[in-house]
Amino acid sequence: MTKALNDIGIFGFNIGLDTPTVNIVINSIPLTTSGNRHCSPEEWNIDTPAWTELENELTAFNPELRLMDRPKWIKSVSALEAENKEKSSIIVAVEANEWLLSEIKKPHPAMAVYGLRCSFRKYIRKDASTHCERCLQYGHHGAHCRMPSICKYCGNQHHTKDHMCGSLYCTAGKRRPCSHIIRRCVNCDETSHFTGDRHCPTRTRARSPTTAEKGKAPAGPVNSNPHN
């Protein structure tokens, strides 16, 4: 079990008296109850029948699913109502049992909710210091990034893991920097280091407590946000 947990990035659990848990996001959950077309924030107050009904639905049609806490909407119900949403996503802590660990590794994990096939994934917390391995900017994860991949070595539009020097006589090999590369950080535009280097001023600002509290990515030459 411990190895299976580590394989999907869940560390620090001792299999024993404590039950290992993981937060997951379940998508496309209807906000309406009892056949109503539009949701009402009052329906989703703490300990209302709507929550009990949802919890019963999750466990009845997904017998191996073990809820460890009450689910919560990914946004406030008032915000979802203002956006006229009929479906949204929930975050819930569940037991990291063998069934869940097996399902979450599949290409398109899903579970049954209200007769619908709802996709789910591991919840990944993000803040201003989160560094995207895809576009190399701060404030979001690569798993949710829709920006083009950028190589931290050469700055071209490919993932860093696919980097290969174009010089015929280079012996550095794939994924390795070499002397033919002109260093330039895509975040601060400095030529003294590669993107993500611990001396990068943009990285320093992203990891500062003040920036993290505000939850905003630090300003830099490349400031497009793929989630706007």
Q: Alpha-carbon distance 25 to 103, whole Å?
A: 13
- Among residues 129, 163, 148, 155, which one has the least CA distance to residue 224? 148
What lies within 8 Å, CB to CB, of 207 at 6+ separation is 129
pLDDT tens sequence across 142-173? 776 888 999 998 889 999 989 998 888 888 88
CA–centroid distance for 178 within its chain: 32
* Helix ranges restricted to H, 96-227: 98-104, 201-206, 209-214
pLDDT tens sequence across 82-106? 888 888 899 999 999 999 999 999 9
45 and 94 both lie in a single domain: yes
- Among residues 165, 135, 149, 107, which one has the least CA distance to residue 225? 135
43 and 71 both lie in a single domain: yes
50 and 146 both lie in a single domain: no
143 and 213 both lie in a single domain: yes
Tally of domains in the chain: 2
| Residue 116, domain extent | 2-122
pTM of the entire predicted model: 0.56
Looking at 122, 151, 180, the residue that finishes a domain is 122
147 and 168 both lie in a single domain: yes
25 and 79 both lie in a single domain: yes
Looking at 122, 143, 174, the residue that finishes a domain is 122
pLDDT tens sequence across 212-226? 455 555 544 443 343
Q: Helix, strand, coil % (nearest 5) of the chain?
A: 25, 15, 60
Q: Alpha-carbon distance 16 to 226, whole Å?
A: 42
In this structure, the number of other CB atoms found within 10 A of the CB of residue 60 comes to: 10
CA distances from 3 to 6, 11, 14, 174 (A): 5, 9, 11, 29
147 and 228 both lie in a single domain: yes
101 and 176 both lie in a single domain: no
